[in-house]
Structures are given as C-alpha cells and as structure tokens.
C-alpha cells in the first residue's frame, strides 16, 4: 500500500479552509469565517503566508474519500489504539489537522510521531514511536475503520 503526501481532509475541514482562504483573498466577508469558528491571522505577512499554506494543502487534498474498510491504518481511517499496557483506548482520525473544528473528533497527522508509527499497521499490531522527551512509547492498533461523515 502506498502512502502519498496528499492531505486527507474531512468535508468540514475542507469547507472551513476554503472559506478562510476566500476571506484572506478578500472575496468573502470575515463574518463568514467567524461563523465557522475560524480565527484569522493578523498582519499582511502572516495572512499571505497562511493563504499560501492553505493553497498548498488544498491543491492535492483528498476530501472525505473513504479508504477501503480493510482494518489497515491509513489517512482517512478512524483509529482506536491502546497505549502501552493501559486498558483504556483512544480513538482519533488519521488525517490533516488543519481546518478541523473543535466539535469534530481528535485528529492526528500521518506525519506526527504517532501517525508515522501507525501507518500500515493492521488490527492487533503493536508499534512503537519516540515522544519529544526521547522516551519510546508502545501503541497497539485496536481497530481501524473508514471515517464517515
């Protein structure tokens, strides 16, 4: 399975990023962004940099397209994991974090240490990754199902 560098976005994240970009380009009113909970950056240089970042992200983004329901961790999958020997699990979407609203589920980027460790894992597989303090953490993929709107 290949893991390309295209960002996987929820439809809601895509909408918020598209509106934010329109506001940054002056083709939409700031109130439209505020209604979606988007906090606009201040200053011309920051706005220009943010607009370029969003354009790059949206250029080749995969929007809401569900990957196969094969239990393999990849962008667009909702992963349930267990850290180390803990009994509790954590569930999150593996995809682009940008544009995700607070009311949606947690999102981990495939480029994050946890995301990189889990890419390609199958149900029941244990992987490990290094956290910023240098410690190695074990994580087990409990389940992987396609994101559904």
Quick one: 93 and 141 in the same domain? yes
Quick one: 29 and 87 in the same domain? no
Q: Domain range spanning residue 48?
A: 8-63
Percent of the chain with pLDDT over 90: 85
Quick one: 81 and 140 in the same domain? yes
Q: Is residue 1 part of a domain?
A: no
Cα 15-8-55 angle, rounded to 5 deg: 55
pLDDT tens-digit series, residues 32-89: 999 888 989 999 999 999 999 999 999 999 999 989 999 999 999 999 999 999 999 9
Q: Is residue 69 part of a domain?
A: no
d(CA 138, CA 98): 26
Quick one: 97 and 59 in the same domain? no
Quick one: 103 and 59 in the same domain? no
Q: Kindly provide the residue ranges of all beta strands, DSSP E only, lying in the chain, ordered along the sequence.
A: 8-9, 62-63, 77-83, 90-94, 107-108, 126-130, 136-146
Domain count, the chain: 2
55: tokens are: 């354009």
pLDDT tens-digit series, residues 120-133: 999 999 999 999 99
Q: What single DSSP character describes residue 79?
A: E
Quick one: 37 and 13 in the same domain? yes
By C-alpha distance, which of 78, 86, 69 is closest to 8? 78
Q: Is residue 72 part of a domain?
A: no
Q: Is residue 121 part of a domain?
A: yes
By C-alpha distance, which of 9, 135, 15 is closest to 76? 9
Q: Is residue 70 part of a domain?
A: no
């Amino acid at each position: 399975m290949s893991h390309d560098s295209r960002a996987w976005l929820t439809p809601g994240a895509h909408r918020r990023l598209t509106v934010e970009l329109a506001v940054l380009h002056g083709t939409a009113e700031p109130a439209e962004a505020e209604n979606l909970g988007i906090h606009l950056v201040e200053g011309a240089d920051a706005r220009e940099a943010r607009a370029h970042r969003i354009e790059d992200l949206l250029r080749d983004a995969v929007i809401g397209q569900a990957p196969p329901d094969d239990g393999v961790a990849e962008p667009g999958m909702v992963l349930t994991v267990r850290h180390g020997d803990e009994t509790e699990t954590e569930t999150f979407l593996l995809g682009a974090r940008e544009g995700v609203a607070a009311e949606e589920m947690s999102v981990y980027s495939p480029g994050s240490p946890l995301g990189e460790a889990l890419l390609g894992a199958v149900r029941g597989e244990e992987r490990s990754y290094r956290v910023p303090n240098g410690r190695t953490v074990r994580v087990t993929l409990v389940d992987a199902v396609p994101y559904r709107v």
